[in-house]
Amino acid sequence: MNGFMSLWHQTGIASFQAGQLVMILVGCILMALAIIKKFEPLLLLPIGFGAILTNIPNAGFSDPGGILYYFYNVGIASGVFPLLIFMGVGALTDFGALIANPKTLFLGAAAQFGIFITLFGALLLNLVPGIHFTLQDASAIAIIGGADGPTSIFLASKLAPELLGAIAVAAYSYMALVPIIQPPIMRLLTTKQERQVKMEQLRPVGRKERILFPLAVLLLTILFLPTATPLIGMFTLGNLMRECGVVERLSKSAQNEIINVVTIFLGLAVGSKLSADRFLHLETIGILVLGAVAFAIGTAAGVLMGKLMYKLSGGKVNPLIGAAGVSAVPMAARVVNKVGLEDNDQNHLLMHAMGPNVAGVLGSAVAAGILLALVG
């Protein structure tokens, strides 16, 4: 009889707690969004599955010795997985539009404004009973406004590892919702005349410029913000492998095999932090709300900078491209192109929007470096 009772207590039916069932449901919702809605499927699918695994009672996936425990500690706590992802993103990134029109760097910088506004918003939430964010917590939450998943995970692992699951889910969820969140903000802040502006074709960019650009970015980062060099360094390495033309095999590996394998492990490791005892708190709701606010402010700041450039250029810059200053590459640029075509079916803004879009990747990495330097 004792043996039977012992076996019974080891079953899932006897061991499940309400919180674990809720988090398994959350994992299923994330997977449904990935499969049915195709919202950031490459990461929401493994994150959702990881959330299910980590909430299975008596399985020990996230306990010391469990596979998710090692995925997290080897890959995320060390910062390795986000950095490898950044190398792959660098290998996939074409800086040609930014090099051809370097003024769009200001649009990428302006879109990071939401990060620093949200930092103060997170600290103000401490006035709500049941919520307590330290300055490190607030900094990790604020980076969601950059719409850069790997940067969010990297910074959260350094400053607020206990909040990593909620921060990662918020970051990738809002990245997936770019086509829903951004267009209303873009239309609200621009006139039809501004949205109809057709921009001049970008000049061709030579191979030498493409090779020198990542090296120049790395050099400036080393000189002025060394704390950002882990992210910027791996990003520029990937881009240099792409542009130099002599390590095509390495570039293709970074773009495909490496980034794909790491994405699986990264998603599962993030999912391991979606356990009921870590996620089901009032602070999680605060993170999700702040993430949406950060993303909206970043989009608005980019568009407003675009309007300023529209005025200063005598109407030659379409302010819509400022919305692409967030780091959701290339989705934000595609959304800009789509909204531009709604008011002028001959207005193709995709290449112009790619300039601020890739500038946003650099901007979010720089913002992370600043936060690390200030509060890390």
Instruction: Give per-residue pLDDT as tens, 181-209.
Output: 999 999 999 999 999 999 999 999 999 99
Residue 5 has pLDDT above 80, yes or no: no
Average pLDDT for residues 325-331, to the nearest whole number? 87
What confidence tier does 173 reach under pLDDT thresholds 50, 70, 90? confident
Average pLDDT for residues 24-43, to the nearest whole number? 92
Nearest Cα residue to 306 out of 292, 294, 324, 293 = 324
- The letter for the amino acid at 354 is M
pTM for the predicted model, two decimal places: 0.90
Residue 10 has pLDDT above 80, yes or no: no
Residue 225 has pLDDT above 90, yes or no: yes
Helix (H) or strand (E) holding 310: helix 282-312
Based on the number of CB atoms within 10 Å of its own CB, is 272 exposed (0-12), middle (13-18) or buried (19 or more)? buried
Residue 250 has pLDDT above 60, yes or no: yes
Distance CA 96, CA 210 (A): 7
Instruction: Name the residue with higher pLDDT: 1 or 340.
Output: 340
Task: Output the CA–CA distances (angstroms, integers) from residue 376 to 52, 157, 171, 216, 277, in the order listed.
Answer: 32, 11, 20, 26, 25
Looking at residue 11, its pLDDT comes to 65
Angle at 338 between CA 336 and CA 342, to 5 degrees: 115
- Whether a cis peptide bond, with omega within 30° of 0, leads into 226 is no
Distance CA 159, CA 245 (A): 38
SS3 247: coil
Looking at residue 344, its pLDDT comes to 87
What confidence tier does 175 reach under pLDDT thresholds 50, 70, 90? confident
Q: In which region does residue 147 sit, left (phi positive, over 0), alpha (psi from -120 to 50) or beta (all else)?
A: left
Average pLDDT for residues 129-139, to the nearest whole number? 92
What confidence tier does 259 reach under pLDDT thresholds 50, 70, 90? very high
Average pLDDT for residues 228-245, to the nearest whole number? 97
SS3 181: helix
Backbone angles phi, psi at 292, to 5 degrees: -65, -40
